[in-house]
Amino acid sequence: MMIAEEIGVMHPMIRNTGEPVVMTTDFLITVGTKNVARTVKPATGLEDERTIEKFEIERRYWERRHIEWGIITDLDIPDYFVRNIEWIHKEFHNEDVPDLGPFVINQLQSILAKHLLEGETIARSCLVCDEQLGLEVGTSLALFRHFIARKIWSVNMNERIVPTLKGKDFQINESVRSIQAKGG
Protein backbone atom coordinates (compact mmCIF):
# COMPACT_ATOMS: atom_id res chain seq x y z
CA MET A 1 0.00 0.00 0.00
CA MET A 2 2.93 2.30 0.69
CA ILE A 3 4.33 1.68 -2.79
CA ALA A 4 0.98 2.53 -4.39
CA GLU A 5 0.86 5.76 -2.40
CA GLU A 6 4.47 6.62 -3.29
CA ILE A 7 3.83 6.28 -7.03
CA GLY A 8 0.40 7.93 -6.90
CA VAL A 9 -1.80 5.02 -7.94
CA MET A 10 -4.72 3.42 -6.15
CA HIS A 11 -3.95 0.16 -4.38
CA PRO A 12 -6.33 -2.61 -5.56
CA MET A 13 -9.48 -2.80 -3.42
CA ILE A 14 -12.34 -5.30 -3.10
CA ARG A 15 -15.30 -3.63 -4.83
CA ASN A 16 -18.08 -4.44 -2.36
CA THR A 17 -16.15 -3.86 0.85
CA GLY A 18 -13.41 -1.38 -0.02
CA GLU A 19 -10.92 -3.64 1.74
CA PRO A 20 -7.40 -3.73 0.28
CA VAL A 21 -6.63 -6.70 -1.95
CA VAL A 22 -3.62 -8.78 -0.97
CA MET A 23 -1.46 -8.57 -4.06
CA THR A 24 0.28 -11.74 -5.16
CA THR A 25 2.93 -12.87 -7.61
CA ASP A 26 2.30 -16.04 -9.60
CA PHE A 27 5.74 -17.63 -9.22
CA LEU A 28 8.76 -17.23 -6.98
CA ILE A 29 11.33 -19.49 -8.61
CA THR A 30 14.67 -20.58 -7.23
CA VAL A 31 17.30 -20.80 -9.96
CA GLY A 32 20.50 -22.09 -8.39
CA THR A 33 20.94 -19.80 -5.39
CA LYS A 34 18.97 -16.91 -6.89
CA ASN A 35 15.22 -16.21 -6.65
CA VAL A 36 13.25 -14.67 -9.51
CA ALA A 37 9.63 -13.53 -9.39
CA ARG A 38 7.31 -13.96 -12.37
CA THR A 39 3.77 -12.84 -13.08
CA VAL A 40 1.75 -14.54 -15.78
CA LYS A 41 -0.75 -12.53 -17.83
CA PRO A 42 -2.33 -12.86 -21.27
CA ALA A 43 -0.57 -10.49 -23.69
CA THR A 44 -3.85 -8.67 -24.29
CA GLY A 45 -3.89 -7.70 -20.60
CA LEU A 46 -0.77 -5.61 -21.10
CA GLU A 47 -2.82 -3.02 -22.96
CA ASP A 48 -4.82 -2.11 -19.85
CA GLU A 49 -3.53 0.96 -17.98
CA ARG A 50 -4.81 -0.27 -14.59
CA THR A 51 -3.04 -3.61 -15.06
CA ILE A 52 0.20 -1.75 -15.78
CA GLU A 53 -0.23 0.29 -12.58
CA LYS A 54 -0.63 -2.87 -10.51
CA PHE A 55 2.39 -4.41 -12.23
CA GLU A 56 4.43 -1.35 -11.27
CA ILE A 57 3.48 -1.85 -7.60
CA GLU A 58 4.51 -5.50 -7.89
CA ARG A 59 7.76 -4.68 -9.72
CA ARG A 60 8.82 -2.16 -7.07
CA TYR A 61 7.95 -4.58 -4.28
CA TRP A 62 10.37 -7.16 -5.68
CA GLU A 63 12.96 -4.56 -6.60
CA ARG A 64 13.16 -3.52 -2.93
CA ARG A 65 13.92 -7.13 -2.06
CA HIS A 66 16.63 -7.33 -4.76
CA ILE A 67 14.70 -10.01 -6.62
CA GLU A 68 14.42 -9.91 -10.40
CA TRP A 69 10.77 -9.57 -11.47
CA GLY A 70 9.25 -10.11 -14.89
CA ILE A 71 6.05 -10.75 -16.82
CA ILE A 72 5.40 -13.93 -18.77
CA THR A 73 2.68 -13.87 -21.41
CA ASP A 74 1.06 -16.48 -23.59
CA LEU A 75 3.35 -15.22 -26.36
CA ASP A 76 6.40 -16.29 -24.32
CA ILE A 77 5.34 -19.90 -23.82
CA PRO A 78 4.85 -22.17 -26.83
CA ASP A 79 1.45 -23.87 -26.99
CA TYR A 80 2.98 -27.38 -27.15
CA PHE A 81 4.95 -26.69 -23.95
CA VAL A 82 1.75 -25.69 -22.13
CA ARG A 83 -0.02 -28.82 -23.43
CA ASN A 84 2.90 -31.01 -22.29
CA ILE A 85 2.73 -29.52 -18.80
CA GLU A 86 -1.05 -30.00 -18.63
CA TRP A 87 -0.77 -33.60 -19.84
CA ILE A 88 1.96 -34.49 -17.37
CA HIS A 89 0.67 -32.53 -14.39
CA LYS A 90 -2.57 -34.52 -14.30
CA GLU A 91 -0.52 -37.47 -13.02
CA PHE A 92 1.58 -35.60 -10.45
CA HIS A 93 -0.52 -37.11 -7.65
CA ASN A 94 -1.09 -40.58 -9.07
CA GLU A 95 -3.26 -42.53 -6.63
CA ASP A 96 -2.10 -45.92 -7.98
CA VAL A 97 1.47 -45.48 -6.71
CA PRO A 98 0.79 -46.47 -3.06
CA ASP A 99 -1.53 -49.32 -4.14
CA LEU A 100 1.03 -50.78 -6.56
CA GLY A 101 3.79 -50.68 -3.96
CA PRO A 102 7.52 -50.11 -4.35
CA PHE A 103 8.31 -53.52 -5.87
CA VAL A 104 5.84 -53.13 -8.77
CA ILE A 105 6.79 -49.46 -9.26
CA ASN A 106 10.49 -50.39 -9.48
CA GLN A 107 9.72 -53.24 -11.90
CA LEU A 108 7.57 -50.91 -13.99
CA GLN A 109 10.29 -48.26 -14.06
CA SER A 110 12.90 -50.79 -15.08
CA ILE A 111 10.87 -52.44 -17.86
CA LEU A 112 9.51 -49.17 -19.21
CA ALA A 113 12.89 -47.42 -19.15
CA LYS A 114 14.54 -50.35 -20.95
CA HIS A 115 12.06 -50.16 -23.84
CA LEU A 116 12.19 -46.37 -24.04
CA LEU A 117 15.99 -46.35 -24.04
CA GLU A 118 15.95 -48.96 -26.84
CA GLY A 119 14.00 -46.45 -28.94
CA GLU A 120 10.50 -47.91 -28.80
CA THR A 121 7.57 -45.51 -28.87
CA ILE A 122 6.09 -44.37 -25.58
CA ALA A 123 2.75 -46.11 -26.27
CA ARG A 124 4.34 -49.42 -27.29
CA SER A 125 6.73 -49.37 -24.31
CA CYS A 126 3.84 -48.71 -21.93
CA LEU A 127 1.66 -51.44 -23.46
CA VAL A 128 4.46 -54.01 -23.23
CA CYS A 129 5.07 -53.02 -19.63
CA ASP A 130 1.35 -53.30 -18.72
CA GLU A 131 1.22 -56.76 -20.34
CA GLN A 132 4.41 -58.00 -18.65
CA LEU A 133 3.27 -56.89 -15.21
CA GLY A 134 -0.38 -57.85 -15.68
CA LEU A 135 -1.54 -54.27 -15.15
CA GLU A 136 -4.64 -52.57 -16.47
CA VAL A 137 -3.90 -51.05 -19.88
CA GLY A 138 -2.94 -47.41 -19.38
CA THR A 139 -1.29 -47.86 -15.99
CA SER A 140 2.25 -47.60 -17.36
CA LEU A 141 1.38 -44.56 -19.46
CA ALA A 142 -0.08 -42.84 -16.39
CA LEU A 143 3.07 -43.67 -14.46
CA PHE A 144 5.28 -42.50 -17.34
CA ARG A 145 3.56 -39.13 -16.93
CA HIS A 146 3.89 -39.35 -13.13
CA PHE A 147 7.64 -40.03 -13.34
CA ILE A 148 8.10 -36.98 -15.54
CA ALA A 149 5.88 -34.80 -13.34
CA ARG A 150 7.93 -35.86 -10.30
CA LYS A 151 11.22 -35.30 -12.19
CA ILE A 152 12.19 -38.93 -11.76
CA TRP A 153 12.49 -39.05 -15.55
CA SER A 154 13.08 -36.29 -18.08
CA VAL A 155 11.98 -35.77 -21.65
CA ASN A 156 12.32 -32.82 -23.98
CA MET A 157 9.43 -30.60 -22.91
CA ASN A 158 10.22 -28.23 -25.78
CA GLU A 159 8.81 -30.74 -28.25
CA ARG A 160 5.25 -32.01 -28.15
CA ILE A 161 5.06 -35.32 -26.26
CA VAL A 162 3.16 -37.73 -28.48
CA PRO A 163 2.74 -41.27 -27.09
CA THR A 164 2.85 -42.79 -30.58
CA LEU A 165 6.38 -41.37 -30.99
CA LYS A 166 9.62 -42.01 -29.13
CA GLY A 167 10.34 -40.08 -25.93
CA LYS A 168 12.55 -37.21 -27.11
CA ASP A 169 15.74 -36.95 -25.08
CA PHE A 170 14.38 -39.48 -22.57
CA GLN A 171 16.59 -39.93 -19.55
CA ILE A 172 16.52 -41.21 -15.99
CA ASN A 173 17.56 -38.56 -13.50
CA GLU A 174 20.53 -40.07 -11.68
CA SER A 175 20.13 -38.05 -8.46
CA VAL A 176 16.58 -39.35 -8.06
CA ARG A 177 17.66 -42.91 -8.89
CA SER A 178 20.33 -42.84 -6.17
CA ILE A 179 17.87 -41.41 -3.63
CA GLN A 180 15.38 -44.16 -4.41
CA ALA A 181 18.09 -46.79 -4.20
CA LYS A 182 18.90 -45.60 -0.67
CA GLY A 183 15.24 -45.87 0.35
CA GLY A 184 14.49 -42.13 0.27
CATH number of the domain that residue 99 is part of: 1.10.10.10
**13, 98: one domain:** no
**89, 151: one domain:** yes
**39, 96: one domain:** no
Range of the domain at 55: 2-72
Cβ-Cβ contacts under 8 Å for 155 (sequence gap 6 or more): 148, 161, 167, 168, 169, 170, 171
**29, 115: one domain:** no
**20, 87: one domain:** no
pLDDT at 93: 93
Report how many domains make up the chain: 2
**92, 65: one domain:** no
Q: Which residue has the higher pLDDT, 7 or 179?
A: 7
CATH number of the domain bearing residue 15: 3.40.1350.10
Q: Could you read off the pLDDT of 113-131 as tens digits, one per residue?
A: 999 999 999 999 999 999 9
Cβ-Cβ contacts under 8 Å for 40 (sequence gap 6 or more): 26, 27, 71, 72, 73
Among candidate residues 25, 48, 72, the one where a domain is terminated: 72
What number is the average pLDDT over the span 136-151?
95
121 has which bridge partners? 166
Contact 26, 40 (CB under 8 A): yes
CA–CA gap between residue 118 and residue 142 (Å, rounded): 20
**35, 117: one domain:** no
**38, 128: one domain:** no
The pTM assigned to this predicted structure is 0.66
Among candidate residues 52, 72, 92, the one where a domain is terminated: 72
pLDDT at 174: 64
pLDDT at 172: 86
pLDDT at 181: 39
**93, 51: one domain:** no
Among candidate residues 46, 72, 98, the one where a domain is terminated: 72
**57, 111: one domain:** no
Q: Could you read off the pLDDT of 2-49 as tens digits, one per residue?
A: 999 999 999 999 999 999 999 999 999 998 999 999 999 999 989 999
CA–CA gap between residue 169 and residue 75 (Å, rounded): 25
**149, 86: one domain:** yes
